[in-house]
Amino acid sequence: MKEPLLLVEDKAELRAVLSKALKLAGWNVDEAPDGTTALDKLRRMRYLLVLTDLKLPGCSGLDVLRGVKEADPTIPVILMTAFGSVEEAVTAMKEGAFDFIQKPVDLDHLRLLVERAARQQELLRENLVLREDYAARYGFPRIVGEHPSILEIGQQVQRVAAAETTVLLLGESGTGKELFARAIHHLSKRRDQPFVALNCAAIPEGLVENELFGHEKGAYTGAGARKAGKMELAHRGTLFLDEIGELPLLTQSKLLRVIEERQFERVGGTQAIEVDSRIVCATNRDLHAAVAGKTFREDLYFRISAVPITIPPLRERGADVQLLAEHFLEKFRRELAKPGLRLTEDAKERLAAYPWPGNIRELQNTIERAVLLADGETLDAADLRLPAARPTATEIPAGALDEGFSWEGTLDEVSGRAVAHVEKFKIETVLRECRWNKTRAAEKLGVSYKTLLNKIKALGLEG
């Protein structure tokens, strides 16, 4: 369903006519009989646009306009005005109103104006989560990216932010799941309330419940005073549970109760505490497998995964590696007072070729280290200090080289190690196929029986 538009009109009959016309045109309409009510609604709800009379009891339409611009400057405001108030409407246009329409209202003109205003806001909001100016305005880190997958995730984040549903962010460690969680919070109506994060994997199992729900005085030895937990601190705001797959089963059941009943008890307490917090979760684990393995509750999984959003690994984001590298380079040039530093072409090629197992976090650390240690005005491939390049799993036969294979050293050294690995893999595979019949295996390998025996001994395959 589309986000609602807010109709502010003190005359009930006119408000009913306008509301019906807009609903027939396919819009979701919320109503307010005066400016004070409208401003209260704006604090609690995110609207597509606002249609307000200029003359209202109490707070005027101009006050509503200013309240809208304070809440979210992207929301268009259309003013309705009587013939004698055109000058005031023009003044309001200078303060940021989208347009005005004179009474008596021409319904066809109104529908056209609403469509134009909605389209403008759609363009303004497009990938808002990726826009630097919006990130600066609301104080959360900008998400950098132009890859189609990131653009699509930006749109998903904007759509779910306005709702109250639980969101599950999926992806490898270091892909930026917390940044997207913060974006969801700052794009929601809860943005002026706390964003509280808890890394479930960083807390010993016996302390997770205490961190999440808090405790009463005397709940256990050393609990000398009541302590509020993360759930309580996030009241009216957003609670971000990172690595939720690491929650103990008992704590999972208590979290499920909070989601379903909106209340909990502190450790050692008996009083139910009401809580209103939106929950955003993240994990790098396969929760389907965890459910199958009975280490994660199926009912909790279904409650938190109403809206799953998968953040792609950096190696799948193409040119975003370069964009992010330049973004971090600019950041650390500024912080470390090295304004002239730039990446050479060979450094850019090295960045593009590296698989980034640590994702964006690893890239940021790589650039920071390179800037910190840089002596001249350029950063080349060697300055990045990345591990030697190695083929991906699809570029070598499965099992031919183990995960611990070292790609460091000269060509002869790496080739020698690779030959030994490949020979061992091939010989052992053929021996198994031939049920360890060495004569048949030698024939299949195209070597003499004696050569095969020597290889088996040298490679430690006698057993």
Radius of gyration of the chain (CA): 31
- Cα first-last separation, the chain: 67
Task: Tell me how far apart the alpha carbons of residues 368 and 110 are, in angstroms, rounded to a whole number.
Answer: 54
DSSP 292: H
Q: 132-310, superfamily in CATH?
A: P-loop containing nucleotide triphosphate hydrolases (3.40.50.300)
Alpha helices, H only, 162-311: 177-186, 208-213, 230-233, 249-261, 287-292, 298-304
At residue 234, the pLDDT reads 93
Task: Tell me how far apart the alpha carbons of residues 24 and 20 are, in angstroms, rounded to a whole number.
Answer: 6
Confidence band, pLDDT 50/70/90 cuts, at residue 433? confident
Task: Tell me how far apart the alpha carbons of residues 352 and 320 are, in angstroms, rounded to a whole number.
Answer: 9
Q: In this structure, are strands 307-310 and 167-170 parallel, antiparallel, or unpaired? A: parallel
pLDDT in tens, 81-111: 876 566 776 777 778 888 888 888 999 999 9
Contacts 24+ apart (CB under 8 A), 153-157: 153/180, 153/309, 153/311, 154/127, 154/128, 154/129, 154/130, 155/126, 155/127, 156/307, 156/309, 157/129, 157/183, 157/184, 157/187, 157/309
Task: Report the CATH architecture of 317-384.
Answer: Orthogonal Bundle (1.10)
pLDDT above 90 for 340: no
Task: Tell me how far apart the alpha carbons of residues 346 and 379 are, in angstroms, rounded to a whole number.
Answer: 9
Task: Tell me how far apart the alpha carbons of residues 63 and 180 are, in angstroms, rounded to a whole number.
Answer: 33
Q: Would you list the DSSP string of 357-417? A: TTHHHHHHHHHHHHHHH--SSEE-HHHH-PPPP---GGGS-TTTS-TT----S-HHHHHHH
Task: Tell me how far apart the alpha carbons of residues 61 and 118 are, in angstroms, rounded to a whole number.
Answer: 19
pLDDT in tens, 37-54: 999 888 878 788 999 998
pLDDT in tens, 145-155: 889 999 889 88
pLDDT above 70 for 31: yes
Q: Is domain 5-125 in CATH 3.30.420.10, yes or no?
A: no
Dihedrals phi, psi of 165, to nearest 5 degrees: -70, 155
- Per-residue buried b or exposed e for 15-34, using 16+ beta carbons within 10 Å of the residue's own CB: beebbebbeeeebebbbbbb
Tokens representing 175? 């892909």
Dihedrals phi, psi of 106, to nearest 5 degrees: -80, 115
Alpha helices, H only, 95-223: 107-125, 132-138, 148-161, 177-186, 208-213
DSSP 267: B
**Lowest pLDDT segment from 60-69, 89-98, 145-154, 187-196:** 89-98
Average pLDDT, integer, range 162-185: 91
**Contact (Cβ atoms closer than 8 angstroms) between residue 288 and residue 276:** no
